[in-house]
């Protein structure tokens, strides 16, 4: 899948606008007042988020134009549902929405046939999870999802597993200069989810214990919503190095924040 083309779906990606924070705030204020032109401008100013997300799916056989269109649907949903009073950056909220929309598209067109009833259960669980995250800013447990949609958790796990495309944990995601990033390197530790400690009141003190480069990486990843690839491009190192520095920084902060 070639993602280095300049034009996707008739959009010249090299000339996409970049909005300043003041412009975003003003546009969103107008959006809440029903200004459709402001909404269109806000969406155009965030199309780079869609481009960033579809790079994660570059190993798929899907046409980038199709993924870009689906990603734009996720972006529009994010704009329509974003609550700026929660003090969360729009990019932090929008990226999971865009990813979710693309994943749903890929599941619907998966070559492995899954029964309609299983897909329905899986999609109900996914929607329930997204709504929970949007309202509580953390991931729900499987028990909470099961209680929300009224289906046994064992059946939910089975349905979610059925719609997943099988991927090896040792499948390389990115490689540069001998540093290879594998799928297993991007799997989160569910016992130490970042959401549980990012809200800690001592966060600033924890960040002050980091070196300047690690602190800069954490700020770009969790406050500016940038991908590891974008961070790597900005500070001039490989994505694998960014991943290692990020993991070390998070470990240092967790150790400080533990009671």
Q: Which residues pair with 12 in a beta bridge?
A: 7
Q: What is the pLDDT along the chain (259 residues), one digit of tens a residue?
A: 445 555 666 666 777 788 888 888 899 889 889 888 999 999 988 888 888 888 877 766 677 888 888 889 889 998 988 887 777 788 888 888 888 888 888 776 654 555 677 778 888 888 888 888 888 888 888 889 999 999 988 888 878 877 665 544 445 544 445 555 555 454 444 444 444 434 444 567 777 788 888 888 888 887 777 788 888 888 888 888 888 898 888 888 777 766 5
105, 82 Cβ separation under 8 angstroms: no
**Residue 104, number of CB atoms within 10 A of its CB:** 19
Question: Which domains does the chain show, CATH number per domain?
Answer: 1-88 (no CATH), 173-257 (1.10.10.10)
**Residue 108, number of CB atoms within 10 A of its CB:** 11
Separation of alpha carbons 62 and 152, rounded Å: 34
Q: Which residues pair with 175 in a beta bridge?
A: 180
- Is the full-model pTM beyond 0.75? no
């Amino acid at each position: 899948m070639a993602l280095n083309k300049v034009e996707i779906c008739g959009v010249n990606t090299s000339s996409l606008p970049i909005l300043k924070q003041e412009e975003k705030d003003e546009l969103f204020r107008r959006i809440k007042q029903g200004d459709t032109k402001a909404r269109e401008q806000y969406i155009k100013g965030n199309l780079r988020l869609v481009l960033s997300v579809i790079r994660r799916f570059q190993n798929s056989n899907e046409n980038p134009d199709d993924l870009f269109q689906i990603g734009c649907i996720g972006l529009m949903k994010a704009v329509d549902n974003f609550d700026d009073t929660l003090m969360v950056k729009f990019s932090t909220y929008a990226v999971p929405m865009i990813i979710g929309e693309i994943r749903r598209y890929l599941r619907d067109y998966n070559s492995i046939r899954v029964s309609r009833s299983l897909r329905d259960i899986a999609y109900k669980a996914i929607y329930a999870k997204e709504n929970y995250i949007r309202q509580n800013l953390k991931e729900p447990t499987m028990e909470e999802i099961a209680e929300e949609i009224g289906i046994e958790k064992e059946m939910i796990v089975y349905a979610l597993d059925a719609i997943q495309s099988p991927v090896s944990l040792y499948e390389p995601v990115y490689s540069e200069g001998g540093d290879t990033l594998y799928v297993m390197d991007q799997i989160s530790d569910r016992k130490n989810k970042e959401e549980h400690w990012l809200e800690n009141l001592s966060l600033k003190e924890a960040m002050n214990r980091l070196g300047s480069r690690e602190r800069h990486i954490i700020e770009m990843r969790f406050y500016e919503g940038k991908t590891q690839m974008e961070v790597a491009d900005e500070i001039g190192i490989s994505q694998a190095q960014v991943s290692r520095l990020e993991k070390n920084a998070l470990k240092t902060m967790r150790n400080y924040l533990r009671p």
